[in-house]
Chain A
Amino acid sequence: MDLENQKRVLNISEEFGAENVVVLLGASEAEAAGLAAETVTNGDPTWAGPLAGVQLGLTVYHICEDEIKSEVDAGVYDEQVGMMEMVMDVPAIHEEMENIRSQYCKYL
């Protein structure tokens, strides 16, 4: 994940408390979604950014996962994400996200 983004994640978690923060991802592939999710839960796996070794354990979802989709206005979701949902491999993304969440999320 971009170093600037890691810095912001760290600052916001400190400001509001990690338990009050949710991270939403829009990555196009399961693997990239998993890496980003791991970064905000277990720390930067590439050991390059401010989150290296920082286990925030934030709640993290991909925008295409049903848990999030069900909370969003259906019309807005369809307009903003509907087409990308057709293009992306949503089950694979969900599986990867579940895997990360079950290992590292602290606030579920």
Chain B
Amino acid sequence: MAILNGKHVIIIGDRDGVPGPAIEECAKTAGAEIAYSSTECFV
């Protein structure tokens, strides 16, 4: 069963890892609904 398809996805990206908007682009192609997306910054 697909993990992302049809699910409400919360994205916690990382400024020095993979940022939120980049993960969003990926999740959309898997049929996910983006419920919330943000990017954390440790520095």
Contacts and interface: CB of A to CB of B under 8 A. Distances in A.
- In their complex, do chains A and B touch, with some C-beta pair under 8 Å? yes
Interface of A: 1-2, 4-5, 8-9, 12, 16, 20-29, 32, 36, 40, 58-59, 61, 63-64, 67-68, 71-73, 76-77, 79-81, 84, 88
Contacts of B25: 76, 79-80
Interface string B1-38: 01111011111111011111011011101101001101
In the complex, the 3 A-B pairs of residues with the closest C-beta atoms, listed nearest first = A26-B18, A28-B17, A73-B29
Contacts of B27: 24, 72
Interface residues of B, number: 31
Interface of B: 2-5, 7-14, 16-20, 22-23, 25-27, 29-30, 32, 35-36, 38-40, 42
Contact of B19 (A26, A29, A58, A88): A26
